[in-house]
Amino acid sequence: MGFALWTLLASSLAVAQVFDLSELQWTLKNQNGSIVVPGSLPSQAHLDLFEAGIIDDPLLGINEFTERWVINDNWTYTADLTPFTQTYQSDASGKTFLVFYGIDTIANITFAGYPVAWVNNQFRRYTYDVSDYLSSSTGEDNNLTIALESAWYYGLNVTMRPDAEYFPNTPIVSTSNNFEYPNVRTWIRKIDDDFGWDWGPAFVPSGIYKPAYLVTLSESELRSPASDATPCPVTSRSILLDETSLDIYKYGQNSSVAPDQSADWIINVTLGIRSIKSFEKPTVTLSIPELKLTSEPLNLGPIPANTDENIYLGVNWSIPDSTPERWYPIDLGNPKLYNLTVTLDPSPSQGDEPSAELITQTITTGFRTIQLLQTPYSEEEIASRGITPGDQWHFAINGKAFYSKGTNIIPFDPFYSRIKPEAVRWVLESAVKSGQNMLRVWGGGIYQPSDAATDGGLYAFYSLCDELGILAWSELIFSDSLSPINDFFLESIEPEVRQNVRRVNRHPSNVQWAGGNEIEGIVMAANTSLANGTHYLDEFVYMFQDYLHDIVLSETNSVPYTDCSTTHGVLSLDPYILRFANGTPGYIYGNGERYNYNASEAFDLTTYPVSRFLGEVLENPEDFAFNSSVVMSRDHHPPAGNLSWPNPNAPQGQYQMTSAVELWLPTPGTSDSNQTFAQWCWSTQLFQSMNMVAEIAWYRRGAGLGENNLGSLVWQLNDIWQGVSWSAIEYSGRWKVLQYGMATVYSPVIINPFWFPGNESLTILATSDRWETGMGLDAILPSGYNAKDVWLLMNVTATVENKLVTSESYFTPVSLAYSNLVDPQITVTAGDNYTFTLSAKGGVGAWTWLDHPSGTVGYFLDSTTGLPSNGYYLIPGIDRTVQFIFSIELATVQSPDPADFVVRSLWNNTHI
């Protein structure tokens, strides 16, 4: 018989039975029983149907459409409990808990024939006392059953309730944006993009997508544990430690009080406890071995005998400011981490022997302060620095303002339970390699996990950010829709938010909690355009200014809260009052974003916003596609807004891409159709990178101007499938042109041209240095040359924190579509260990690009600078040597032929 039994504890007396439910034999069936296949845990219905051969891989071909029937059915997971009950040891004092770390989403849970619970929130952990059901089953039912309801049909049913509010969409404002499955997602606590988005599929999955356990506590000695250990769940003989929150902040610090950088550090540990017996004088001892620090036993307060819900008890430990080294993002310092040992002793003994109920955890964490500065600039700053009046909107780490450079993260796969840890690490390491210091966890996806074990995360995210030194902007999962405030809806949201804030508290990489994505702008439009607009504004204020704000800040002192990813800022932090449209004309408030699909304005600097911070920077999607059903179905921009298939709006998205290439680059067209298609794909990616780099350079330029711009986050870093999107890294892990472009423009020191065609002026700016200007194009051009024949190369090299950094930029006075390109006659010489030397024997190779073969995953590293490099101007006489750095874990081809690496440049858009 298969079962797993383990413990965290060294003492054999302090043993709880922990049974991993993945060891049961699961079956999956649809509502009418016509399909019955083996199931698994953690998993989702699509994945088990694929494994059983009932459906093909959902990500292939047009399966998003042909497999919609899976979404429309109800699916039930069932497992015989006999492997557990045969090993279960019952006694009068014992209690058994059923622990789920994630159910997606609407489900009835039945244990041995007894109804346990109905659940409706994908983002919550659920713990139930099932002790009474173990003594006798209902009839012959000895099963654990999770009956999942179609989230699509559940949502439709909820919208029919008499108390379900209607959210109108008009030509002026959409109060509930629809992408594929319409009008339901705002009523379901589930990943928003499961119902479709303008860059991803709509599979609306269901399943037990995270691990689940049976935990048995008993005052009597239980059987010895198996040798393997797991940190999840954490138990002693009598206690289930359901949650551990670790919050590190400065004495006196909170969301409206700036931290005193010289004050002592406060280490707050809060425990969520269920216990089968009471303990009068429990203590918690904290230690940091690297610092040789150990606290005195800290009084926790009495633990009552309670198994119905968690009891929350906490302790504080104060240590001097100078004792630990501070954590910094990797581009600003060292992301220093420490191991904090938390020892709970429920009944301290008088002698030297440890208590039989001792629970010890080790949590990796760091010391830092993070602020989101939103108060007005002082008159002195306005006068002395030339700051445009208004409010600040930027972050400060350890009391120092910095420029946030980064991208936005979406879910790594449509099916959470199959996300590969090594794929996530590759994406995050790639972000660091391209100079990023911040990732925004988009509020339409999922609460990213801490690590593979904590709360059944399955892979590491925040702990990787801690390790790699990359900041994480966190958001509650509300996106592009107004939210109802019905009681039945709110009662599920509060525990969801509390659980996730408490879990993430320990991570020094976390910089803030935003209430959601792009909702403030929606409600402001509704307020001014709808007859009952103030009703929606009042609901928004209740939900995002008051309700969520109060929940988040009751659980943390270390990070700020803001209502939305894009916001006009605040009138006051204490009390927290949003600004909305209450501002002085000409002043700058809050942050912003830029979406512009007019390719003719791609490089018109006057169309770029002037803002304190850009949370989303975006231009046209970059993958060209022909008009086949498969490709049309993969282009979700603009979205259909309903279940029409293929997307009837796909031609509009394709036009945006192709027109951009035709306007700014040579139009691909050769006698080789395969080459033409490849050049189209690459050219659209190249245009995206050119535009994004130009925008980022503009915003970084603003750090020294009146707007004092201190942040730009590009949409988006990763991809959820193989489709048309804005990602810098493909679903497979392949770097696109944009990823290399960011490696240049996010360098600590950059140089860039800024061309203003209105008065024909060119400004060349190196950050942290003076700028030079030249008036009139004729004054810039070399004597005797036409604007179509010349280009400008700009290099800057600097030493930053004892490391050499370099940046290279290019300027062409006319569009490359009209430039007189010359055959660069590029040769590629392969060396050892996949090094390649590229030489231009004819003319300049504009945007020379080296492509690695299908099945390989990695990036090219410049042998001279040691930095990622691809997509550059290859100059005759100045060779480039690069090495391909493999990701062995992700590659399906381990030893490619160097001859299969392909070089291209813009010359190949029109020539073989």
Q: Give me the active site residues, please.
A: 518
Return d(Cα 91, Cα 170) in angstroms, integer. Answer: 63
Question: 3-state class of 659 per DSSP?
Answer: helix
The one-character DSSP state at 47 is H
Sheet of 107-111, strand order:
36-38, 26-30, 75-80, 143-148, 107-111, 114-119
Positive/negative CA dihedral, 657, 663, 669, 674: negative
Return d(Cα 144, Cα 79) in angstroms, integer. Answer: 5
For residues 320 and 333, the answer to whether their CB atoms sit within 8 Å is: no
Helix-strand-coil split of the chain, %, nearest 5: 25, 30, 45
Count CA atoms closer than 13 A to 666's CA, side-chain side.
18
Return d(Cα 906, Cα 664) in angstroms, integer. Answer: 11
H or E element in which residue 363 lies: strand 359-365
How far is Cα of residue 83 from the mean position of the Cα atoms in its chain? 38
Question: 3-state class of 722 per DSSP?
Answer: coil
What is the number of other CB atoms lying within 10 angstroms of the CB of residue 11?
Answer: 15
Q: What is the dihedral of CA 468, 471, 476, 477, to 10 degrees?
A: -60
For residues 599 and 620, the answer to whether their CB atoms sit within 8 Å is: yes
Beta strands in 94-167 (DSSP E): 95-100, 107-111, 114-119, 126-129, 143-148
Amino acid at 407: T
Count CA atoms closer than 13 A to 643's CA, side-chain side.
15
Render 616-640 in DSSP notation, one character per residue.
EEE--------SSHHHHHH--SS--
| Unique residue bearing structure tokens 């204490």 | 574
For residues 225 and 36, the answer to whether their CB atoms sit within 8 Å is: no
Return d(Cα 484, Cα 488) in angstroms, integer. Answer: 10
Overall residue count recorded for the chain in this entry: 912
How far is Cα of residue 536 from the mean position of the Cα atoms in its chain? 28
Q: Name beta bridge partners: 796.
A: 807
Q: What residues contact residue 130 under an 8 Å CB cut-off, 6+ apart?
A: 96, 97, 98, 111, 112, 114, 116, 214
Return d(Cα 847, Cα 907) in angstroms, integer. Answer: 9
Q: Name beta bridge partners: 473.
A: 440, 512
How far is Cα of residue 295 from the mean position of the Cα atoms in its chain? 36
Return d(Cα 408, Cα 713) in angstroms, integer. Answer: 6
Report residue 505 as tokens.
Answer: 């508290």
Return d(Cα 250, Cα 319) in angstroms, integer. Answer: 10
How far is Cα of residue 404 from the mean position of the Cα atoms in its chain? 16
